[in-house]
Amino acid sequence: MAKIFSTTKAYVAGFLDGDGCIMFQLVRRKDYIYGFQIRASIVFYQKTMHRDHLEWIKRILKHGYIRDRNDGMTEYTIVGFKSVIEVLKFLQPYIKMKREHVEVALKISAIMSGKFTIEKMVKAARFVDQYQQLNYSKKRVNTSKVLIDFLAEHKLYPCND
């Protein structure tokens, strides 16, 4: 990312703290041999009448896309490990309220770096579970236990876990 003033980074981090969300989710994928993927995303929310604020942030972060919802809200979404981790590292010194979200995200990223293994996936999935509490999610159904059960059922992972 280009040279950005610390005050601008602090503003964007504050916006994320207040009107944003950092999510890591286990997503069921029938086309994946291991049945799931870990999806990383950051979403900023704003009333559509202030869409230009999100466009300004997107110009700074240089990732993701903006979409208008039908309920008068607009979302600026960044999806994918590489992009999400790059943005979080860029904003990390200035993030306050979502500091734990960032710390867990960086742990997941560290686990998933290098050669992929099922063991890494399971270990990372256990950290993904923490986002249920961090984001007050009541609807999360895909957990590390669901992943482990799927892998065991398909004889891809030991079932003594």
Query: What is the C-alpha to C-alpha distance for residues 20 and 82, in angstroms, rounded to an integer?
Result: 19
Domain count of the chain? 1
Give the pLDDT confidence of 59-111 residue by residue, as tens digits: 999 999 999 999 999 999 999 999 999 999 999 999 999 999 999 999 999 99
pTM of the model: 0.91
CB count within 10 Å of CB 77 equals 18
> What is the extent of the structural domain holding 27?
7-153
Average pLDDT, the chain: 93
Is 122 a member of any domain?
yes
> Which CATH number is 124's domain given?
3.10.28.10
Quickly list DSSP for 18-34. HHEEEEEEEEE-TTSTT
Inform me whether the pLDDT recorded for 161 exceeds 60: no
Is 33 a member of any domain?
yes
